[in-house]
Each structure stands twice: as structure tokens, then as C-alpha cells.
Chains A and B, each alone.
Chain A
Amino acid sequence: GENVEQHPSTLSVQEGDSAVIKCTYSDSASNYFPWYKQELGKRPQLIIDIRSNVGEKKDQRIAVTLNKTAKHFSLHITETQPEDSAVYFCAASVTGGFKTIFGAGTRLFVKA
């Protein structure tokens, strides 16, 4: 069945450093790849997304890259800040479908 693998499960960085989270998906039909941030005790919220016709997208300090051939996509956070500490989920879905498959999550700690 469909599967999204996410690594690492935990990531600890120093404030100001960069953080990279990587995901791999199995369903070739997937064409939409969102990233959600979940702060402690809160709901997951979309922070950035990328579609299969684009290789890279950037929004201020966060960027996503997609390698459709390899079925890999990644989240890059630059100049990390303590408020970036949260659990980050990658996900994959097919536009118009009824199911989003989430990765297992990466717990990011940014040390001040």
C-alpha cells in the first residue's frame, strides 16, 4: 500500500543552524506534497507544500525540494530559531483523492 517514510525521527540543532528533514514516498501517482508543523499540544498546520510539476519552492526561511524520479522530497529550514521547535510531518496525496498519507514525524529541537 501507500507509504511515506520520514527521517530522522529526532533532530537537534543549535539556533542559527540549518535543519533538513527527508521523506520518501511509494505511490507514483502522488502529486501533492505538503509539510505540516505541530507544536506541543496543538493541531498540525500546513507550513509549505510542493506539487509534482515543481522541483523547488521557497518561503522565507523554509524551502522544499522534490525529486520525482527518486520519489524523494525534503524540507530545509535555515537560520533556525527556538520557535521552530516542533514535530514536522511530511505527507503525500493525489490531487482530487480522499487520502493523505503522513510520514511518522520528525521532532525538531532548536537549542538557544
Chain B
Amino acid sequence: DTAVSQTPKYLVTQMGNDKSIKCEQNLGHDTMYWYKQDSKKFLKIMFSYNNKELIINETVPNRFSPKSPDKAHLNLHINSLELGDSAVYFCASSPSTGGRETQYFGPGTRLLVL
């Protein structure tokens, strides 16, 4: 019954590695997002996708590459991880029919770069 799910829940890795986070929603929403929440809890949008197409890229370094194989999935690949990438990454989705107003968040992926 999980509406928005993410894997993995925790990710601990070394600087310079490449890692991926997966997100899936079963709500039938057209729009999906990636947010980064830093240690001060600030929640900042990274990407917005609508029907598998990139709509918004909020000046995120190109080491971050989202990919949407279909409108129910939005994955995030990060190359050459840096210490500053340590954060909680939240996937979210919203319904077009509701004007994309309410964000339904996944449980988050806690990334720690050592």
C-alpha cells in the first residue's frame, strides 16, 4: 500500500563513488520530484519531471542525473560523490488533476559520504 517508496533507505559510501537512488509511486501521479534536505532541515527542490520529461532543474551540478523510465518511476544517479552531498534525499509526486499542489513524499534516503 506504500504510496511513494524509495530505495535504499540508508546509503553510506566513500567520496568519489557513484550511487543511485530509486523512487516509485503507485498513486497514478504524472509529476515527480527530487528534493534535498540538508542537516539544517532545509528542503530544496532539485528536479521536477512531468510524464517522464524534465521540467525543472534547479541549478543542480551535472554530477546528479535523474532518469524517469516511466511516469511511476524517477531515479537519481549521483557521480563522483562529494562530502557536501551528504543529506536526506526525498522523492515526491503530485497529481496533475489537483494542479500539482500537494506533494506526497517518499520516506527519504539518508546519504552519508565519507
* Contact among B40, B55, B103 with A100 in the assembled complex (CB-CB below 8 Å): B103
Shortest Cβ distance from B110 into A: residue: A41
Residues B65-114 near A (CB distance < 8 A): 90, 99-103, 105-108
Interface residue tally for chain A (C-beta within 8 Å)? 25
B12 at the interface (CB under 8 A from A): no
A80–B56 Cα distance when bound, in Å, is 38
Check if A44 sits within 8 Å of B90, measured CB to CB: yes
What residues of chain A lie closer than 8 Å to B40, measured between beta carbons?
A: 104
Check if B41 sits within 8 Å of A87, measured CB to CB: yes
* Contact among B43, B45, B102, B108 with A34 in the assembled complex (CB-CB below 8 Å): B102
Interface residue tally for chain B (C-beta within 8 Å)? 22
Check if B44 sits within 8 Å of A43, measured CB to CB: no
A76–B42 Cα distance when bound, in Å, is 21
B50 at the interface (CB under 8 A from A): yes
- Main secondary structure, interface of B, reads loop
- Main secondary structure, interface of A, reads strand
Check if A93 sits within 8 Å of B101, measured CB to CB: yes
A89–B101 Cα distance when bound, in Å, is 15
Task: Tell me whether A49 and B101 are in contact in the complex, defined as CB-CB below 8 angstroms, given that A87-B41, A89-B43 are known contacts.
Answer: yes
What residues of chain A lie closer than 8 Å to B105, measured between beta carbons?
A: 43-45
Shortest Cβ distance from B47 into A: residue: A98
A107–B42 Cα distance when bound, in Å, is 11
What residues of chain B lie closer than 8 Å to A73, measured between beta carbons?
A: none
Q: Which 9 A-B pairs have the closest CB atoms?
A: A95-B99, A43-B105, A98-B48, A102-B43, A98-B55, A105-B41, A32-B101, A96-B99, A44-B105
What are 28 A-B pairs with beta-carbon distances under 8 A?
A32-B99, A34-B101, A34-B103, A38-B41, A42-B107, A43-B90, A43-B105, A43-B106, A44-B43, A44-B103, A46-B102, A46-B103, A49-B102, A89-B43, A91-B103, A93-B100, A95-B101, A96-B99, A96-B100, A98-B31, A98-B48, A98-B50, A98-B55, A98-B56, A102-B42, A102-B44, A104-B40, A107-B41
